[in-house]
């Protein structure tokens, strides 16, 4: 899992945990009850930030990144459909270094394309080996591409009617969307004589394929120089990604101890100790001080961010936990 997926997953987890803890605050006397603890977790972030945010385009998961960068740098127009160039996002840009200069890589939407893609969905019909289930092809007997298709589509089928989510970066429209020509050409599940049922993890699934219309953005790759030195690049990354800064020299022994313990997870119930309140204030998490963030009219974030502590960067996460 790369850094961007990790942060996305962490944000989702933080929001989910925060949502769950808020559900019962109204009936808990405003502070969540005596058994509700606020947990702080610190985990390592790349230090310096350049080592995690500045990428080598020859080593990314997208083989076209290096060519797109070189072409755009030469003044050519490079466009992609549906997927943003370089894997960048508006809130999480990609940076690279070329001949001593650091560049920010991104994209702008310049058009819309209307296209048709096959969509494969699965629906469970029974357990494998059952007397009332139709004959099915084992997923292990399919080729590599189709095994991936079935795996993704099964996650969508499994989630229907159950609590929990699915990886929306993979699952789309409740199944697997064939977006590239190579996958369409390789997949036997799109053939006229494709199996009508497949077996995956002891469950028999009916296979349904439809051709659907998609309206996809067309992106133009952008390349902008931002820094000529490592120090300036580090300053740019700090300004964009660091939410708080702490110095051990300004903290009490108890507060420093909390930050040390937080690498394994530190928690307290309300009312919090003075040292914990100091740490929360230093993280600019004052919305948590009264034990009930519902009292605040505006909460900017769900309790996640990056802190620079005595020259080292950490990701921090705050969440409520119910303890028996």
Residues 87 and 170 in one domain: yes
- Alpha-carbon span 156 to 85, nearest angstrom: 27
Residues 131 and 10 in one domain: no
Please tell me the predicted confidence (pLDDT) of residue 90.
79
Task: Identify the domain boundary among 169, 193, 227.
Answer: 227
Residues 152 and 255 in one domain: no
Residue 6 C-alpha from the chain's centroid:
5
Q: Which domain holds residue 101?
A: 54-227
Please tell me the predicted confidence (pLDDT) of residue 322.
85
Task: Identify the domain boundary among 182, 203, 227.
Answer: 227
Residues 209 and 65 in one domain: yes
10-residue averages of pLDDT along the chain (324 residues): 45 43 36 75 94 91 90 95 88 92 96 97 88 90 96 88 66 91 94 94 94 96 97 96 96 97 95 96 90 57 87 95 79
Q: 204 and 127 in contact (C-beta within 8 Å)?
A: yes
Closest CA to 304 of 36, 41, 92: 41
Into how many domains does the chain fold? 2
Please tell me the predicted confidence (pLDDT) of residue 166.
67
Please tell me the predicted confidence (pLDDT) of residue 193.
93
Task: Identify the domain boundary among 227, 258, 281.
Answer: 227
Please tell me the predicted confidence (pLDDT) of residue 127.
86
Q: Is residue 232 part of a domain?
A: no
pTM: 0.74
Residues 173 and 78 in one domain: yes
Q: Is residue 317 part of a domain?
A: yes
Please tell me the predicted confidence (pLDDT) of residue 16.
43
Place of tokens 């390592």: 44
Residues 39 and 73 in one domain: no
Place of tokens 């909390």: 258
Q: 168 and 187 in contact (C-beta within 8 Å)?
A: no
Closest CA to 81 of 180, 187, 212: 180
Q: Is residue 141 part of a domain?
A: yes
Q: Is residue 233 part of a domain?
A: no
């Amino acid at each position: 899992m790369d850094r961007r997926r990790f942060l996305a997953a962490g944000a989702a987890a933080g929001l989910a945990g925060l949502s769950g803890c808020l559900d019962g605050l109204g009936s808990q006397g405003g502070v969540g009850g005596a058994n509700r603890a606020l947990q702080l977790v610190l985990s390592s972030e790349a230090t310096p930030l350049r080592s995690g945010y500045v990428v080598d385009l020859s080593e990314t998961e997208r083989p076209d990144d290096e060519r797109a960068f070189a072409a755009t740098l030469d003044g050519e127009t490079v466009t992609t459909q549906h997927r943003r160039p370089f894997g960048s996002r508006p809130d999480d840009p990609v940076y690279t270094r070329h001949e001593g200069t650091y560049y920010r890589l991104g994209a702008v939407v310049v058009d819309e394309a209307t296209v048709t893609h096959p969509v494969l969905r699965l629906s469970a019909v029974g357990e494998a080996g059952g007397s009332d289930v139709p004959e099915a092809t084992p997923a292990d007997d399919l080729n590599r591409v189709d095994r991936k298709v079935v795996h993704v589509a099964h996650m969508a089928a499994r989630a229907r009617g159950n609590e929990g989510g699915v990886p929306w970066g993979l699952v789309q429209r409740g199944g697997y969307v064939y977006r590239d020509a190579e996958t369409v050409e390789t997949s036997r599940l799109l053939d006229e004589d494709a199996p009508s049922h497949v077996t995956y993890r002891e469950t028999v699934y009916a296979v349904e394929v439809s051709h659907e219309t998609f309206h996809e953005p067309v992106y133009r790759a952008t390349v902008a120089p931002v820094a000529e030195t490592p120090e300036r690049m580090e300053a740019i990354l700090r300004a964009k990604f660091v939410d708080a800064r702490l110095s051990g020299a300004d903290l009490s022994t108890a507060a420093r101890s909390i930050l040390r313990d937080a690498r394994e997870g530190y928690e307290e119930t309300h009312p919090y100790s003075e040292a914990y309140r100091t740490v929360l204030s230093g993280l600019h998490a004052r919305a948590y001080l009264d034990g009930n963030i519902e009292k605040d009219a505006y909460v900017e974030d769900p309790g996640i961010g990056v802190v620079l502590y005595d020259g080292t960067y950490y990701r921090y996460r705050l969440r409520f936990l119910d303890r028996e």
